[in-house]
Amino acid sequence: MVCRIVVLISGSGSNLQALIDKLDRQYGEIVAVLSNRPDAYGLERARRAGINTLVLDHKDYADRESFERAMIARLDEVAPDLLILAGFMRILTTEFVSHFQGRLLNIHPSLLPKYKGLHTHKRALEAGDSEHGATVHFVTEELDGGPLVVQARVPVIPGDTPESLAERVQHQEHVLYPLTMNLFASGRLRLIDGRACLDNKPLGASGIEPERID
Ligand code: GRF
């Protein structure tokens, strides 16, 4: 059975593009792209790829809870096996996260547990870090805190700005996220008893080791 994937975005959607381009169609299909912003450029990318788009503008709802209830209802109609947060800029409540438990992935632009939250590239530069990166993880109630799946490291180069560092990190995100999506879609990656597992074996603290991916 093909894995039904929905990607949630708020902006440019460069990760969405990488997911579209590198999806292994033997295992998965992106059945919809949902945006909370009607003007997100990622919606255009989805339309160009012939993917169904859903827009739920959070500003149309009185509070976070009613916005999320509407999202859950729309998403349940699509019956996703996997939800991929790709630059979706709304904090999700426990209700949403537990509804999609084990089916929810996020990418965060830092080497978690370092730099949860926003402005990660600037914070890594200000701290004088020699390396930075991106992390894919399952989403749990803790913001940017769920079980880690895979990380990519990049060097910080003298003279880097938050923008140049972000570009280097994003390049890696576009490798990591499709890889993770395809592992999940093929059934090899799962959340079991709260732990990220590859081929039924729990992953270590640093996530997937490259030699385990064939
Ligand atoms: C990425 O840097 C991702 O790590 C973060 O949001 C950004 C989304 O960029 N969660 P894009 O919309 O995929 O270009």
Together in a domain, 123 and 203: yes
Alpha helices in 49-150 (DSSP H): 64-78, 94-99, 120-126
For residues 67 and 80, the answer to whether their CB atoms sit within 8 Å is no
Close Cβ partners of 29 (under 8 Å, ≥ 6 residues apart) = 2, 3, 4, 5, 23
Output the pTM of the full model: 0.96
Together in a domain, 114 and 95: no
Residues catalogued as catalytic: 108
Which residue(s) pair with 133 in the sheet? 153
- DSSP run (H or E) holding 173: helix 162-185
In a domain? residue 213: no
- 133 Cβ inside 6 Å of ligand 1: no
Together in a domain, 96 and 130: no
Together in a domain, 2 and 96: yes
In a domain? residue 143: no
Q: What is the tens place of the pLDDT at every residue in 112-140?
A: 999 999 999 999 999 999 999 999 999 98
**Considering only CA atoms, which residue is closest to atom 1 of ligand 1?**
87
Distance in Å, CA 141 to ligand 1 centroid: 20
The whole-number average pLDDT for the span 28-39 is: 98
Which tokens in the block code for residue 66? 């009613």
Q: What is the tens place of the pLDDT at every residue in 77-122?
A: 999 999 999 999 998 999 999 999 999 999 999 999 999 999 999 9
- 15 Cβ inside 6 Å of ligand 1: yes
Backbone angles phi, psi at 199, to 5 degrees: 50, 45
